[in-house]
């Protein structure tokens, strides 16, 4: 059984919830020294001005519930919320709250970012990501296998809700289940609630209020070694519901790529409800 490290323990003095980055760094260093461990984030709001960086294989970041434990990025801080750079990492039962409204439009910081070829066997579950300046969850420019993202809610991010890039190979056993993305692309039109540039299986997917020029779920074509990945060939999407709320909004984009299966879903155009005449 993995050793638990409480965010409030092993730190000189009481942890200041308004300046929690030193406590996160301290406990993550202790996990690295131990070679494994679970960082327990107690209920409350914990403000960070630098990313919570998970670099120990098999480590976990565990809150007390999606609305109980909140990691909040400080207004104006130019940083991702959580970064994964090791394999076998689990992030669960918490909220990552970004600072989109406090940064310039061209700032590309994500709620949760995986950015290493070592970041396989990644499990993100029972997590809410809100107000990220760029992607809610970004799997970036690496080679991913054995990824499971489940029971996740992403709201009001600047660009894609989930951006999945598999650069070096097609990947295997990558799954998205029970995912909701609401009001994505608040900074950029050519975005998707879920943008797939790798082999991913998706089920029970909901993308709400897709705005003008945006897509609900988008499968991308690509090429080996490009920063945009090999493409979404041989992926799948079943049991989905997308609502569009703007001109030119698309429900499912490029679902005709090689081997892609899309089935059992609905795309609904939202229209204003006329007021009753008095």
The pLDDT tens digits for 213-226 are 999 999 988 765 55
Q: What is the three-state SS of the chain?
A: CCCEEECCCCCCCCCCCCCCHHHHHHHHHHHHHHCCCEEECCCEEEEECCCEEECCCCCEEECCCCCCEEEEECCCCCCCCEEECCCCCEEEEEEEECCHHHCCCCCCCCCEEECCCCCCCCEEEEEEEECCCCCCEEEEEECCCCEEEEEEEEECCCCCCEEEEECCCCCCCEEEEEEEEECCCCCCCCCEEEEEECCCEEEEEEEEEECCCCEEEEECECCCCCCCCCECCCCEEEEEEEEECCCCCEEEECCCCCCCEEEEEEEEECCCCCCCCC
Report yes or no on 255 lying in a domain. yes
Report yes or no on 174 lying in a domain. yes
> In the predicted model, is pLDDT for residue 104 greater than 50?
yes
Residues 6+ apart with CB under 8 A from 112: 80, 81, 82, 83, 84, 91, 96, 124, 127, 129, 136, 137, 138
Q: What are phi and psi of 30, to 5 degrees?
A: -65, -40
What is the structure's pLDDT at 263?
A: 95
What is the structure's pLDDT at 167?
A: 61
> In the predicted model, is pLDDT for residue 68 greater than 90?
yes
pLDDT band at 257 (very low <50, low <70, confident <90, very high): confident
* pLDDT-wise least confident of 8-17, 58-67, 180-189, 227-236: 227-236
The whole-number average pLDDT for the span 12-35 is 92
Count of CB atoms within 10 A of residue 89's CB?
Answer: 24
200 is in which domain, residue-wise?
Answer: 135-269
> In the predicted model, is pLDDT for residue 229 greater than 70?
no
Report yes or no on 36 lying in a domain. no
- The radius of gyration computed from the CA coordinates of the chain, to the nearest angstrom, equals 19
pLDDT band at 197 (very low <50, low <70, confident <90, very high): confident
Report yes or no on 175 lying in a domain. yes
Report yes or no on 67 lying in a domain. no
Report yes or no on 16 lying in a domain. no
More confident residue, 107 or 16: 16
What is the structure's pLDDT at 276?
A: 46
pLDDT band at 275 (very low <50, low <70, confident <90, very high): very low
Q: Given phi > 0 = left and psi -120 to 50 = alpha, else beta, which region is 25?
A: alpha
What is the structure's pLDDT at 45?
A: 97
What is the structure's pLDDT at 170?
A: 54
> In the predicted model, is pLDDT for residue 120 greater than 90?
no
* Burial (Cβ within 10 Å: 0-12, 13-18, ≥19) of residue 23: buried
Q: What are phi and psi of 197, to 5 degrees?
A: -130, 60
* pLDDT-wise least confident of 35-39, 97-101, 274-278: 274-278
The percentage of residues in the chain with a pLDDT greater than 70, rounded to a whole number, is 88
Report yes or no on 185 lying in a domain. yes
More confident residue, 11 or 156: 156
The number of folded domains in the chain is 1
User: What is the pTM for the complete model shown?
Assistant: 0.93
Report yes or no on 241 lying in a domain. yes
More confident residue, 275 or 86: 86
């Amino acid at each position: 059984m993995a050793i638990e490290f409480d965010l409030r323990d092993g730190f000189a003095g009481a942890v200041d919830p308004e300046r929690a980055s030193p406590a996160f760094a301290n406990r993550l260093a202790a996990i690295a020294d131990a070679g494994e461990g679970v960082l327990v984030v107690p209920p409350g709001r914990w403000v960070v001005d630098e990313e919570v960086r998970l670099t120990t294989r098999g480590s976990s970041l565990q809150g007390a519930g999606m609305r109980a434990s909140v990691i909040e990025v400080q207004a104006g801080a130019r940083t991702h919320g959580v970064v994964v750079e090791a394999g076998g990492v689990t992030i669960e039962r918490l909220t990552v709250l970004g600072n989109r409204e406090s940064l310039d439009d061209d700032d590309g910081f994500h709620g949760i970012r995986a950015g290493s070829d070592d970041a396989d066997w990644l499990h993100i579950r029972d997590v809410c990501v809100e107000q990220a300046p760029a992607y809610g969850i970004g799997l970036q420019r690496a080679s991913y296998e054995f990824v499971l993202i489940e029971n996740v809610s992403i709201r009001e991010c600047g660009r894609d809700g989930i951006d999945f890039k598999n650069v070096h190979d097609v990947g295997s056993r990558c799954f998205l289940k029970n995912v909701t993305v609401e009001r994505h692309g608040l900074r950029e039109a050519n975005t998707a609630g879920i943008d797939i540039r790798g082999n991913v299986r998706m089920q029970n997917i909901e993308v709400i209020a897709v705005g003008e020029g945006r897509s609900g779920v988008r499968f991308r074509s690509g090429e080996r070694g490009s920063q945009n990945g090999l493409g979404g060939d041989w992926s799948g999407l079943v049991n989905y519901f997308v609502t569009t709320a703007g001109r030119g909004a698309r429900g499912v984009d490029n679902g005709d790529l090689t081997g892609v299966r899309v089935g059992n879903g609905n795309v609904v155009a939202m229209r204003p409800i006329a007021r009753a005449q008095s």
